[in-house]
Amino acid sequence: MNSYSTALALSVKNMATAFKYLQANFSAGETVAFTAVGNTYVFQGNGAADTAVQLTGVLASNLNTDGLAAGGVWLV
């Protein structure tokens, strides 16, 4: 993980690069969320069946599993 030289400023043009990084660096069951271009993206590694969800217009500030954190994406 963290195999990068500089942070990537995400844009519509380079989102594929971000997902390639996630696919290469996150294992089955690991989940990450990030905001870019006005949306939140949730990615979960699962080998050949990775999952990526775009939450259009949502700018989440965290991931949580109990639904109690304000501004978060609740993982069930």
pLDDT tens digit at each of 76 positions of the chain: 556 677 778 888 888 888 898 999 888 889 988 888 899 999 999 988 999 999 999 998 888 888 788 888 887 7
Which residue segment(s) compose the domain that 38 sits in?
12-74
By the 10 Å C-beta count (0-12 exposed, 13-18 middle, 19+ buried), 10 is classed as: middle
Alpha helices in 1-76 (DSSP H): 15-25
Q: What is residue 29's predicted lDDT score, i.e. its pLDDT?
A: 87
- State the pLDDT at residue 52: 92
Q: What confidence score (pLDDT) does residue 2 get?
A: 59
Number of domains in the chain: 1
Instruction: Decide if 22 is inside a domain.
Output: yes
pTM for the complete prediction? 0.79
Residue 4 lies in a domain: no
Q: Is residue 41 part of a domain?
A: yes
Is residue 3 a part of any domain in this protein? no
Q: Does residue 49 lie within any of the structural domains?
A: yes
Tokens 């989440």 map to which residue? Answer: 60
Q: CB count, 10 Å around CB of 17?
A: 12
